[in-house]
Structure 1
């Protein structure tokens, strides 16, 4: 069981969906107390179950390479860099394999990393991802799908919200990321939960669920390719601790 005890944002802050606020670029990547345990699980999945957690369209490779370069630029000082590798804060050395950019990026940070690009459509399309900690969605069913299809069966993602989210992806500027977080109740603290959740009723009962799961989601734009990056940092807390941190809605 991999759990956190704290959060880098205030759960009591509530804004209308999509609940977006600006974020300094230097705050994009966050390292928390579960780093070593989460990274061991990411290594297990990325190296042992690659097809379940990694996907990249061939045409998206330049964007994935740019994402890796951006991530390497913004790694916190607790990472030790050498010419061909990076030593993580947990002491694990990760080779910098530019022929496998999403695998390399996914082994460095706790965040899941999703690439979204416009391919002659009105909506951004998921063209690549290192997705180790899905919350009820399966990568193979979402890759190469547009934003509206990715969000099925979330009932809150109606036409109005879909338009607002698409405007965010269109308007986000390089070096000026946007952040949001969600609130999810789970009976199972397992991080890798691909589902797929076919119906919204598959959610746990918030009145009795034992664990609170929240995702710190950041949207940023790659300056050269113009692709959008959607990064997801997952936190799982025991119910009692989550209720201590804020007046989390359980009704």
Structure 2
């Protein structure tokens, strides 16, 4: 299981939820030392358990197509583009399949990518598509086509006040100006694919004894043409001692 040694943010800093701020577009997608191992896990899941990690509604197909082009335009250093083929930082080669935009993206970048859209008459953004290889306690099939408030059940911190703040962030995020936050989770098992779902908020590992720390670097980005919001998730897992040292 690939474990990381470093993080692109300071774990010792914590602010009130939703604890989010801007990052440069050049830092939206990242490659770290666990890239090769995580990509191998992603490819295995897409090959053997695709229905559990990828879903796309017809409504979101234009957004998925646009997302593929946006990602290709903002690949981090280490990628090489040769026509319809991309060579990854680990040497793997991905043929661009525009008939399968999310499947292609799942083989290119470490980030899980979720599409959320809001049409006239909808009060909240709705999850309309995703490639989600590394879920932490939730199942994609159970969250598809649901609004933000329902997606966050059973998280008690996600009350009406926080829900309203998050919805304002989704309404206000602009193309080319991503927003970033990170969470803090403790796990007994370092496995990346942990769909759960949790029965309730108490169904978690003990943070005082759990041997692994898991954190998600979560970004919001609006697509300029379809106006869908992309929720990207870069997952980091490290052993307890390393995480505590970074939190000191």
Q: TM-score range by the shorter chain?
A: over 0.9
Residue aligning to 1:25: 25
Residue aligning to 1:220: 221
Residue aligning to 1:85: 85
Residue aligning to 1:237: 238
The whole-number CA distance in structure 2 between the counterparts of 1:245 and 1:31 is: 19
- Larger deviation, residues 28-37 vs 117-126: 117-126
Q: CA RMSD in A?
A: 0.7
Secondary structure of the equivalent of 1:116? Answer: strand
Matched, 1:202 2:203: yes
CA-to-aligned-CA distance 1:101-136 (integer Å, 9 cap, x gap): 001111100000000001331100000000000000
**Offset of residue 227 of structure 1:** 0.2
1:41-80 aligned at under 5 Å gives the runs: 41-80=41-80
Structure 2: runs of 5+ lacking an equivalent: none
Residue aligning to 2:7: 7
CA-to-aligned-CA distance 1:56-76 (integer Å, 9 cap, x gap): 001110000000000000002
CA-to-aligned-CA distance 1:80-115 (integer Å, 9 cap, x gap): 101111011111110100110001111100000000
Residue aligning to 1:164: 165
The whole-number CA distance in structure 1 between the counterparts of 2:80 and 2:177 is: 26
The TM-score normalised by the length of structure 1 is 0.97
Residue aligning to 2:187: 186
CA-to-aligned-CA distance 1:129-154 (integer Å, 9 cap, x gap): 00000000000000000000000001
Structure 1: runs of 5+ lacking an equivalent: none
The TM-score normalised by the length of structure 2 is 0.98
The whole-number CA distance in structure 2 between the counterparts of 1:202 and 1:108 is: 33
The whole-number CA distance in structure 1 between the counterparts of 2:122 and 2:8 is: 35
Matched, 1:148 2:149: yes
